[in-house]
Amino acid sequence: MVATAPPPSALRRTVGRRMLLIFIVGDILGAGIYALTGRVAGEVGGAIWIPFVVAFVLATLTATAYAELVGRFPRAAGAAVYAQQAFGRPFVTFLVAFAVLMSGITSASAAARAFGGDYLAELVTVPTLLAAWVFVLVIAAVNAVGVAESVRVNLVLTAVEVTGLAVILVIGARAFLSGEGDPSRAMTLTADGPAWMAVLGGTALAFYALLGFEDSVNLAEECQHPRRDFPRALFGGIAITGVIYLAVAFTTSMLVETDTLADSTGPLLEVVRVAGLVFPPWLFALIALVAVSNTALINMIMASRVVYGMSREGIVPGWLGKVGSGRQTPWTAILFTTVIALTLVSTGDLSGLADTTVLLLLLVFATVNVSVLVLRRRSHADDDATPQGDAERTFRAPTWAPALGAVVSLVLASPLTGRDLDVYARAGLLLGIGVVLYVVNRLFVPRASAEGAALGVDQGEPAGTHES
């Protein structure tokens, strides 16, 4: 008998641990820390670092679930794959995927509102809404040019945004060593109501700055050794960005009055203005605008490609998957996501849009954490989910971590945080769009297991027993 060679992987495994770590750090750093530090100060006063610590802990808990699941199912579709393996319900799988998609659009919309705020005002006076609209259209144009060009732009923007945070860290170190500012302000927790509710509200906003680590699971099929490298890169990336964010939060609170921060959409610009270190505020404003642009570009690329992929697999109407004959980019998917983004920036403010992003992803995180626990109940899951002959040991999260991660995610998604009802209504409406697309497609397209095909899962196979 002639041995049959295994089919080649659809994607080239070219991503090593170092490149994966850089990707995770670059994906987390962005608009959140540049734009929302002041909003967090409005919730808790000078102790901005406390919500960031809580957000860091939540991110780490959920990261343990992702690290285990990416080892079991190293596939590009991420959370949707995990939900399908755990529950085997195509509609649930679709809702998870669509929530991730919409979180990308709301994140880009929040970035657009931040772009039109105080950072831009340092350079030119333009109405915030007009600037946000133009910003979204420019991002769409870059997206439509092509993914290769977009990735090159992304690399440049990432380098610039890291430079901006380095400036803030240098300012903070210099101020602390020279005795400038008021370090005691960073220890002052003030709130209109119970302190724990203020911290929860601040954490819901601070968590926006730590989002991005979950996107890295989409590189699983392109990692050289996903089971070995992914957990180390994931936890390393969260730790690096967590330390940077805590240092930035402490510096911001130490140097700038809380009331000034709370009223600003460009809080780090306020740090530069009061710093003894000579650094042109207009130059830092330009760097911040670059950082905000990078966040929007990453999210809109992701969102448009998810829509395109869903349409190609028959999960949403096929017209959303049309590709231009010139640049060969998914122009209808880009148009669809751009129209939603334009609508969101017209109807929501920075905090509301960022909070909507967090709400959608907290629901996804709760699902991912529960998926780990469900799969644990199947005694054969580990053996069947790991390819035979694979010498790499799959990371296993301590059971308490995903359990606590699920509870904390649901608590932060609840009204206990003081979240406005508009945020819940906006998230519900966005998911409703997905439900409508799903139902319409099921009515007009022959019934098939498209959801499973999209994720590389055989619908006839028991969830959790698919061999990657």
User: 93-143 pLDDT, tens per residue?
Assistant: 889 888 988 998 999 999 899 888 888 988 988 888 899 999 999 888 887
User: d(Cα 314, Cα 310) in Å, to the nearest integer?
Assistant: 6
| Range with lowest mean pLDDT among 292-296, 323-327, 449-453, 464-468 | 464-468
- Alpha carbon distances (Å) from 206 to 200, 201, 249: 10, 9, 10
User: d(Cα 71, Cα 381) in Å, to the nearest integer?
Assistant: 12
Decide: pTM greater than 0.75.
yes
| Range with lowest mean pLDDT among 67-71, 327-331, 439-443 | 327-331
Residue 35, both tokens: 């734009």
User: What end-to-end distance do the CA atoms of the chain give, in Å?
Assistant: 25
> What is the per-residue pLDDT for 222?
61
**Average pLDDT in the chain:** 80
Radius of gyration for the alpha carbons in the chain, expressed in angstroms and rounded: 22
3-15 pLDDT, tens digit each: 444 444 444 565 6
Residue 190, both tokens: 């003030």
Q: Would residue 431 count as lying in a domain?
A: yes
Residue 185, both tokens: 């302000």
Residue of 50, 116, 122 whose CA lies nearest to 270: 122
Q: pLDDT tier at 339 (50, 70, 90 boundaries)?
A: very high
> What is the per-residue pLDDT for 368?
93
Residue of 455, 438, 439, 457 whose CA lies nearest to 316: 438
Q: Is 15 helix (H, G, I), strand (E, B) or coil?
A: strand
> What is the per-residue pLDDT for 326?
65
- Alpha carbon distances (Å) from 233 to 72, 225, 378: 17, 11, 28
CATH of the domain at 279: 1.20.1740.10
| Range with lowest mean pLDDT among 130-144, 255-269, 356-370, 454-468 | 454-468
Residue 181, both tokens: 């500012």
Cβ 67 vs Cβ 397: under 8 Å = yes
346-348-354 Cα angle (round to 5):
130
Mean pLDDT of the 365-369 span = 94
> What is the per-residue pLDDT for 382?
47
Determine if residue 379 is left, alpha or beta; phi over 0 gives left, psi from -120 to 50 gives alpha, anything else beta. Answer: alpha
Residue 386 has pLDDT above 70, yes or no: no
> What is the per-residue pLDDT for 211?
83
More confident residue, 321 or 218: 321
Domain count, the chain: 1
Q: Is 457 helix (H, G, I), strand (E, B) or coil?
A: coil
Alpha-carbon torsion angle 253, 255, 261, 265, nearest 10 = -110
> What is the per-residue pLDDT for 391?
46
Which residue pairs from 279-286 have beta carbons closer than 8 angstroms and sit at least 24 positions apart in sequence? 279/167, 279/171, 281/122, 282/122, 282/123, 284/164, 284/167, 285/118, 285/119, 285/120, 285/122, 285/123, 286/123
> What is the per-residue pLDDT for 404?
94
Q: Would residue 352 count as lying in a domain?
A: yes
Mean pLDDT of the 223-245 span = 85
Residue 327 has pLDDT above 70, yes or no: no
User: d(Cα 73, Cα 81) in Å, to the nearest integer?
Assistant: 8
Q: Would residue 370 count as lying in a domain?
A: yes
Q: Would residue 467 count as lying in a domain?
A: no
Mean pLDDT of the 37-54 span = 88
Residue 18, both tokens: 């170092």
Residue 171 has pLDDT above 60, yes or no: yes
> What is the per-residue pLDDT for 451?
46
Q: pLDDT tier at 311 (50, 70, 90 boundaries)?
A: confident
Q: Is 185 helix (H, G, I), strand (E, B) or coil?
A: helix
Residue 199 has pLDDT above 80, yes or no: yes
Q: What percent of the chain has pLDDT over 70?
A: 82
Per the structure, the complete domain to which residue 174 belongs is given by 17-380+396-455
Burial group, residue 403, by CB count within 10 angstroms (0-12, 13-18, 19+): middle
Mean pLDDT of the 401-416 span = 91
Residue 247 has pLDDT above 50, yes or no: yes
**CB 364: neighbour CB atoms within 10 A?**
24
> What is the per-residue pLDDT for 9?
40
Identify the H or E element spanning 332. helix 331-347
Q: Would residue 10 count as lying in a domain?
A: no
Q: Would residue 103 count as lying in a domain?
A: yes
Cβ 241 vs Cβ 210: under 8 Å = yes
